[in-house]
């Protein structure tokens, strides 16, 4: 069994093998680095990417180390990079709990204090998701929280947050997967916001062949993580949410949808995540019921730029694509295919030098063969949008 390391350590940095995998659409412009590979290392499988940039400019890449599928013996793993993703440290175990499930990493950086908060979820390793949803499991699914004050080198012991951050009527629970944000503008500036998801009782829904539905919500803190509260539920038929900020401080939740629309579901909040608008669907963000990533890049040549990534197909999990837009997620003017083969979950990040990074699952025979990190110049992703804007204006 893998042991959790809380003691201070300085990981030896090693150069990750860099090579171009078959199936990439942009091999001439970028390099791909495999951070974890199925069947190698201390675990049989690796899934669920999350990546953030710390206040010190360090990249932290998280994933789940799995022995089997979505339940069972799962640990939270991490690697660090201090050179914009060129080289990466050895693997570090952030959380392991015997043969139980420690999953769904969802970190957020407090830009004012430098503290890195990491939300996670736990369940008994013998409990599959459908039993947790139907409340016939040994135990329930619970949110946990830990933090790091030394740039991700060590982590506090995860604390059970279910007493205040989970409605007791819910069955399933999941943070992210992906990242949280800190609000940058407006009345709620400085608020930490974590996207999360849950199952709930619904006589009209048919999740896991029963009267259960999926919904999304956020967890938020306005005192730098000392206390946390839950926002209003967003439903029906959505989960695996990610949140982003629009240029006026409005929050947009982007969610996996089970409403037979073959695209992402979205909702807006103008009060920092406490309440949310009715669910609608973004028809440009095509998907086949999978996780996606959304990121507010910031201004690029005077325009507020957002990025979105997912396997952009209506069926299956292939064709990992990055879309970008300059009108606060109203439309997506650019689309770049980065992996045409099998691909699934992803997480976007802006590096300190302005480069865009994506940490995603991809492979040749199946979508879960590798956990791959890739970097792009913002010019490659954004410049056509600038030209479209000029055409629209003039």
What does the pLDDT look like over 155-184, one tens digit per residue?
999 999 999 999 999 999 999 999 999 999
- Per-residue pLDDT tens for 301-340? 888 999 999 999 999 999 999 999 999 999 999 999 999 9
pLDDT at 7 over 80: no
> 13-393: which CATH architecture?
6 Propeller (2.120)
What's the pLDDT score for residue 31? 74
Kindly report, residue by residue over 64-76, the tens digit of the pLDDT. Answer: 999 988 989 999 9
With cut-offs at 50, 70 and 90, classify the pLDDT of residue 221.
very high
At residue 68, the pLDDT reads: 84
CA–CA distance, 19 with 331 (Å, rounded to integer): 34
pLDDT in tens, 101-142: 999 999 999 999 999 999 999 999 999 999 999 999 999 999
Q: What is the pLDDT of residues 23-60, one digit of tens each?
A: 333 433 457 899 999 999 999 999 999 999 999 999 99
The pLDDT score that the predictor gives to residue 21 is 39
Contacts 24+ apart (CB under 8 A), 304-309: 304/246, 304/247, 304/328, 305/378, 305/382, 305/385, 306/244, 307/348, 307/356, 307/381, 308/254, 308/332, 308/348, 309/346, 309/348, 309/358, 309/360
pLDDT (mean) for 349-361? 96
Query: Are the C-beta atoms of 310 and 346 separated by less than 8 Å?
Result: yes
What is the average pLDDT score of the chain? 90
pLDDT range class, residue 14, cuts 50, 70, 90: very low
The mean pLDDT value for 267-280 works out to: 98
Question: What is the percent of the chain where pLDDT is above 90?
Answer: 84
Burial 43-52 (b: 16+ CB within 10 A, else e): bebbbbbbbb
**Reported confidence tier of residue 208, pLDDT bands at 50, 70, 90:** confident
Q: Give the Å distances, CA to CA, from 68 to 23, 47, 99, 300, 359.
A: 26, 11, 11, 42, 21
pLDDT at 207: 84
| pLDDT at res. 266 | 98
Q: Among candidates 245, 257, 267, which has minimal Cα distance to 193?
A: 245
Assigned token pair, 65: 């180390």
Q: Which residue has tokens 């300059």?
A: 326
> What torsion, rounded to 10 degrees, do the Cα atoms 294, 300, 302, 306 define?
-10
Does residue 9 have a pLDDT over 80? no
As a whole number of Å, the end-to-end CA separation of the chain is 64
pLDDT at 337: 95
Judged against a pLDDT cut of 70, whether residue 195 lies above it is answered with: yes
Q: What is the pLDDT of residue 28?
A: 35
Instruction: Report domain extents, the chain.
Output: 13-393
**Closest listed residue to residue 166, CA positions, set 117, 136, 132, 138:** 132
Closest C-alpha among 264, 265, 201, 197 to residue 231 = 197
Q: Given this model, what pLDDT does residue 30 score?
A: 55
Residue 19, pLDDT above cutoff 70: no
pLDDT tens figures, 226-243: 999 999 999 999 999 999
**Nearest Cα to 152, choosing from 249, 76, 233?**
76
Say how far apart CA 250 and CA 253 lie, in whole Å.
Answer: 10
Residue with tokens 């691909």: 343
Q: Is the pLDDT of residue 387 over 70?
A: no
Q: What pLDDT score was predicted for residue 22?
A: 36
Q: Residue 268 contacts by C-beta under 8 Å, 6 or more apart in sequence? A: 250, 251, 252, 253, 276, 277
What tokens appear for 267 in the block? 């909702």
Mean pLDDT of 343-356: 97
pLDDT of residue 1: 42
């Amino acid at each position: 069994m893998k042991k959790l390391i809380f003691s201070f350590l300085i990981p030896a940095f090693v150069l990750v093998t860099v090579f171009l995998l078959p199936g990439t659409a942009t091999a001439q412009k970028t390099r791909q680095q495999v951070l974890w590979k199925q069947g190698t290392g201390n675990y049989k499988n690796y899934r669920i990417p999350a990546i953030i940039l710390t206040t010190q400019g360090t990249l932290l890449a998280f994933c789940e180390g799995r022995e089997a599928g979505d339940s069972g013996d799962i640990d939270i793993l991490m690697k660090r990079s201090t050179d914009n993703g060129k080289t990466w440290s050895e693997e570090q175990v952030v959380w392991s709990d015997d043969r139980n499930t420690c999953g769904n990493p969802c970190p957020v950086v407090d830009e004012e204090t430098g503290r890195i908060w990491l939300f996670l979820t736990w369940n008994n390793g013998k409990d599959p998701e459908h039993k947790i949803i139907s409340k016939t499991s040994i135990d329930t699914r619970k949110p946990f929280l830990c933090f790091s004050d030394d740039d991700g080198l060590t982590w506090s012991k995860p604390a059970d947050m279910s007493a205040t951050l989970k409605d007791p009527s819910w069955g399933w629970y999941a943070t992210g997967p992906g990242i949280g944000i800190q609000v940058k503008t407006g009345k709620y500036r400085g608020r930490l916001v974590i996207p999360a998801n849950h199952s709930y009782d619904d006589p009209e829904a048919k999740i896991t062949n029963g009267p259960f539905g999926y919904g999304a919500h956020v967890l938020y803190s306005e005192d730098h993580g000392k206390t946390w509260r839950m926002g209003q539920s967003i439903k029906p038929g959505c989960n695996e949410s990610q949140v982003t900020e629009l240029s006026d401080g409005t929050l947009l939740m982007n969610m996996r949808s089970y409403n037979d629309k073959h695209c992402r579901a979205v909702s807006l909040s103008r009060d920092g995540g406490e309440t949310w608008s009715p669910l609608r669907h973004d028809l440009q963000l095509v998907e086949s019921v999978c996780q996606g990533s959304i990121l507010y890049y910031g201004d690029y040549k005077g325009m507020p730029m957002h990025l979105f990534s997912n396997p952009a197909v209506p069926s299956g999990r292939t064709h990992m694509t990055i879309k970008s837009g300059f009108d606060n997620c109203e439309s997506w003017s650019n689309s770049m295919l980065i992996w045409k083969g099998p691909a699934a979950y992803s997480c976007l990040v802006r590096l300190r030098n302005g480069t865009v990074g994506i940490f995603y699952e991809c492979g040749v025979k199946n979508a879960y063969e590798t956990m791959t990190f890739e970097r792009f110049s913002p010019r490659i992703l954004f410049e056509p949008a600038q030209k479209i804007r000029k055409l629209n204006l003039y």
